[in-house]
Amino acid sequence: MIRLLSLKFLSITALGFMLLSSCTISAQDNESFIQGKWRLEGESPKDRSGYTRFWFLEWTFANGTFLQTGYPPIKQEGKYRIIKQADNKMTLELYEQKGNFGTADQTIELVVDRKDERLKIWNQAGFKRVKAKD
């Protein structure tokens, strides 16, 4: 009886360690996955004159730094750190910033979609990785 309980305890403990280690690997994998440039683009509705305007937003993540650029003109840069991680969601703290949106620290959420190779950044879905030109 004691031997059976010990075996069950060891099995449950091992499972717990496996789950914990897979979360740690997932955090590292997610940070590795977001490295590089990500782009979202679109077209605004027609204005009164009948013209549409094209826009884009890009985020670049590189080893703890970020750059946000876009059109209409946007530029924000600084550093990031992961403050929360759960499965495919990451919460980043942006700090030491400068640019259009000021210098105050802020947090943003990223959702990683490995299957479609997309990111959702700050509630904006559909960011695609920008491939480096040869």
Q: What is the per-residue pLDDT across 38-70, written as a single tens digit (0 to 9) for each?
A: 999 999 999 999 999 999 999 999 999 999 999
Is residue 37 predicted with pLDDT exceeding 90?
A: yes
In a domain, 15, yes or no: yes
> How many residues are there in the chain?
134
pLDDT digits (tens, 9 = 90+) for 85-121: 999 999 999 999 999 999 999 999 999 999 999 999 9
pTM of the model: 0.77
Residue 3: band (very low, low, confident or very high) from pLDDT cuts 50, 70, 90: low
The domain of 9 spans 2-45+52-129
Strand boundaries in 16-131, DSSP class E: 36-43, 54-62, 65-71, 74-86, 89-99, 106-113, 118-121, 124-129
Say how many domains are in the chain: 1
Question: What is the maximum alpha-carbon separation in the chain?
Answer: 83
In a domain, 134, yes or no: no
